[in-house]
Structure 1
Amino acid sequence: MTKDPESLGPDSLTWRHFGDTRMLLVGPRAAVLQNMLPALGQGVLDHSVFFSETFARLKRSAGPILNTVYGGSRSAETGRQVRDYHREIKGTMPDGSRYHALDPETYFWAHATFLETMLYGTETFIRPLSEAEKRRIYEESKTWFRLYGVSDRSMPEDWEAFQAYWKHMLEEVIVPHKTARYGVGYATKGLPAPPKVPAKLWRTVSPPLNSVARFITVGGMHPRMRELLNLPWSAADERRYQRFAAGVRRLNRAWPLLPEAVRYLPQARAAFRRNGRPR
């Protein structure tokens, strides 16, 4: 029997940061980036309920990823389940080439977006990371990726190689795929009315909600994403966003005093109960 790959634990920086609720302030950065890879965007377009049940789809996707990170002895089993969800996601690109969700390059890109979003969220809303910490988190991400049981041939060897990979992907590979454009449509057109909410009530409450959604969504994106997706973002917007981020960082001293249910997502809290808090 093949031995399961190593899992992450409370000694990892990934456990400390990935399930921190402040990561939610980043908005849909990872999901939109994923869908800007042509093969991945096409797979979602062809096979997912993303267009009809956008927020439900995002919720269903996030839970298994968190369970892979925080699953402890069950992480490899959960990771393989996540992988197997994607076995039948395959088809033909508009140019006639074939795609498959389990192609190592495609699967690693999806993983890389979660890693990069955690790094961005930590540095933006919590604290700067040293180069040593970034290298450590990248090494932990390699452990995390191997839990899926997908070939790691596309995984950069070290942090420096990952930085070069990331720069190449943003500058030369990602595109404004239809799926990505749809995923940020509410940032310019407004949030869809929830089911059973009267139209008159929604017209009253939606303007401030739309403003916040736009601010979090567009503000949390890499400038290259905004450029490709044609999302307006002014210098004044950026100044407001940086003031907002600085305000969140100033809460760091008070943050440990808040209930754990406020500070961490349920999967992280369950892992802490089983294994102890991150050190």
Structure 2
Amino acid sequence: MTILRTPEDRFAGLPDYPFAPHYIDIDAGPLGMVRQHYVDEGPRDGPVVLMMHGEPSWSYLYRHMIGPVAAAGFRVVVPDLIGFGKSDKPVDRDVFSYARHVAWLTQFLDRLELRNIGLFCQDWGGLLSLRVVGLDPDRFRWVIASNTFLPLGGTPAPAFLAWREFAATSDSFAIGPILQRATVRTLSDAEVAAYDAPFPDESYKAAARAFPLLVPISRDDPGAIDNAAAWAGLERFERPFLTLFGDSDPITAGGDAYFQAKVPGTRGQPHAIVERAAHFCQEDRPDVFVEAIKALG
């Protein structure tokens, strides 16, 4: 099995990303050991805040949130999922599955001995980490969910089906422009290039192309069955659970109401629809999310 590692010089001089790299080896079963990168800022004895990116971004997405949250006394941990960012990248799309990504995330949390976690999750960062919350709720002290969901199958939106088809079949899957199309503000050329940095060519993009196909769209999909078990835990989760969804994201619109109806920890929380925020809301309104994290503590 071929596993690629993005050359370090691809990450030189990225705007607003001064964070020291940290690495651990993850046991990926038949793949062997793969190296996973993560950001780890702030006091090591501070309350843990885990920030989970999705598809096809990486920890760079949180660059405007990491510093202010760490400066407020939190330990901020931001992993790059396997196949993204500075983490190793298997080249075979078939090695990626929903269950494997959850297992790798769980192993990451165990290896770093992270407990009493405050979680901020968006996009696939939610599909992965919210399953972990549902299966191991005592590990988390609060959750902020933004532009994400935990799917049980069903009829997907036409826009999502078009995205699946594009990810699977397009000749060119340019990551930076994808991020730009799903933000409100205009990214600089250097920021667009930073999202492209982990992927020197198409061979590095197997995970990025695979992720949309891993979203369960039928109730008998193994991912939907596993998510049903996680929902049983989320429906008993009474710790704070806050939804902050962007007002300009057609893919996840309405997901906030579903969480609010199902998760008891959402009661009494200051939920909001964040204005001028598209799917990659961390690019558009990081200030709103930083303040929410600090308020939950």
Instruction: Please give the TM-score of this superposition, normalised by the length of structure 2.
Output: 0.27
- The structure richer in helix per residue is 1
Higher normalized contact order (CA 8 Å, seq sep 6+, divided by chain length): 1
Question: Which entry has the higher C-alpha Rg, 1 or 2?
Answer: 1
- The structure richer in strand per residue is 2
